[in-house]
């Protein structure tokens, strides 16, 4: 009997590989969440590889910028979008600039993950875990969803550290298999009718298949890149029975060489993905916060291969219709040699977790004890990041 069940599971995986896969400890069950598409939504985008924040948010009024990286700054500085306060947004960020003007974007400068490491793996683990010491089986977003009593999805092949933990999590990722026929699914329903678990999983998969049925054109256009994944993610979040939060990832940010062209492309892809999230969320955008973070920054000085090496402080973006934006947050430490961390990196002046704590407090209304459970030993940043709740959502 066990062998037959394994075969059935393999068949289900092959026939519906892009279905949502549930991951939960046996002792837990789904939380009872009311269906209301006006509930506040949260999207976390992690940029793996260490984004160069000094190229994303250019501190043009700091004379040290040109002193350290003239070859990187000169081609973009005159085309960059002025943010005020001596900062400018890279010219590839057309959507982010539009959101900033609409007061739906907050760039945060000089942030760190708390990892105290220039190792991608250690810093990413710290960023995802959010604990004083990394626990690869407990992610901050999982703990946040647990106390919020919500539902989450990771657009990934497997559950990332950020969504691992005691609370139920689910994953979704598109496959490259030929679409299964409706007849096959009907046959599977008959085959699984006496197996409660497999019947339940098949029903979940069919619901998700129907939900994402309109995404084929988007997926074909973008060939499963970040824009396609972002679009599918937004469709799931926008559904009245969809999850409360999602985790997306984007790789390729380790720009040791030829940074100019590579970051032009990466920034454009990220910008397009944010625009597609906004478009596919539709009216739900007004109740959504998108947090974009990376594990650490890059060296202030460019290297000999027209790139930058592993650094310390970076930046984060907080955007969405629920954001009280149109301002730069974070304390700028300066780029003079005396102000650099270890004489080479941008000095961190705040912790990414402080800003996320403020978002969870203001957006999801988590209390102090809940916030301490999500991010112990970290203080909440005292900044207004989320706009006041409108009358249309006040009853939630």
pLDDT digits (tens, 9 = 90+) for 28-57: 233 333 334 468 999 999 999 999 999 999
Cα angle 238, 166, 117 (rounded to 5 degrees) comes to 90
283-323 confidence digits (pLDDT tens): 999 999 999 999 999 999 999 999 999 999 999 999 999 99
Q: Please check whether residue 345 lies inside any domain of the structure.
A: yes
The pLDDT, as a whole number, for residue 396 is: 38
17 within some domain: no
User: Strands, E, within the chain: which ranges?
Assistant: 21-23, 41-47, 57-58, 81-84, 87-89, 105-112, 152-155, 169-172, 245-250, 288-294, 314-319, 350-351
Domain of residue 42: give its range: 36-197+214-374
Q: Does the residue 47 lie in any domain?
A: yes
Residue 197 has a pLDDT of 64
- Looking at the domain assignment, is residue 176 inside a domain? yes
Q: What's the confidence (pLDDT) of residue 174?
A: 80
Residue 28 lies in a domain: no
How many domains in the chain? 1
Provide the whole-model pTM.
0.83
Whether the Cβ atoms of residue 56 and residue 93 lie closer than 8 Å to each other: yes
* Whether residue 331 has pLDDT greater than 50: yes
Summarised one tens digit per residue, pLDDT across range 183-197 is: 665 666 677 667 766
- At 246-274, the pLDDT tens digits run 999 999 999 999 999 999 999 999 999 99
Residue 382 falls within a domain, yes or no?
A: no
| Within-domain flag for 6 | no
Average pLDDT over residues 88-117: 97
Residue 13 falls inside a structural domain = no
CATH number for the domain harbouring residue 51: 3.40.720
């Amino acid at each position: 009997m066990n062998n037959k069940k394994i075969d059935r599971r393999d068949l289900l995986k092959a026939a519906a590989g892009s279905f949502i896969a549930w991951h939960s400890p046996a002792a837990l069950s789904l939380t009872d969440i009311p269906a209301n598409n006006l509930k506040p939504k949260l999207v976390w985008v992690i940029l793996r590889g260490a984004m160069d924040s000094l190229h994303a948010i250019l501190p043009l009024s700091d004379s040290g910028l040109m002193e350290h990286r003239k070859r990187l700054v000169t081609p973009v500085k005159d085309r960059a979008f002025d943010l005020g306060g001596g900062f400018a947004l890279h010219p590839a960020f057309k959507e982010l600039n539009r959101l900033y003007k609409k007061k739906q974007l907050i760039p945060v400068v000089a942030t760190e993950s708390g990892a105290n490491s220039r190792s991608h793996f250690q810093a990413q683990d710290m960023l995802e875990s959010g604990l004083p010491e990394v626990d690869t089986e407990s992610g901050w977003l999982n703990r946040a969803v647990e106390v919020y009593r919500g539902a989450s999805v990771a657009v990934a092949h497997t559950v990332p550290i950020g969504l691992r933990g005691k609370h139920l999590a689910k994953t979704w990722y598109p496959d490259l298999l030929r679409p299964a026929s409706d007849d096959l699914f009907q046959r599977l329903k008959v085959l699984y009718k006496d197996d409660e678990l497999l019947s339940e999983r098949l029903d979940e998969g069919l619901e998700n298949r129907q939900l994402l049925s309109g995404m084929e054109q988007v997926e074909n256009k973008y060939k499963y890149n970040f824009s396609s994944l972002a679009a599918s993610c937004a469709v799931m979040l926008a559904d009245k029975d969809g999850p409360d939060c999602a985790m997306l990832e984007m790789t390729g940010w380790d720009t040791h060489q030829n940074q100019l062209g590579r970051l032009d492309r990466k920034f454009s892809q990220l910008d397009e993905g944010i625009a597609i999230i906004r478009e596919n969320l539709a009216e739900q955008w007004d109740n959504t916060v998108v947090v974009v973070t990376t594990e650490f920054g890059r060296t202030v000085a460019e290297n000999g291969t027209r790139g930058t090496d592993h650094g310390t402080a970076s930046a984060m973006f907080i955007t969405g219709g629920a954001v009280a934006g149109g301002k730069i947050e974070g304390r700028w430490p300066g780029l003079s040699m005396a102000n650099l961390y270890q004489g080479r990196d941008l000095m961190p002046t705040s912790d990414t977790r402080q800003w996320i704590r403020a978002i969870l407090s203001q957006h999801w209304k988590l209390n102090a004890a809940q916030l301490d459970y999500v991010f112990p030993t970290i203080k909440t940043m005292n900044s207004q990041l989320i706009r006041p709740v409108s009358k249309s959502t006040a009853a939630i």
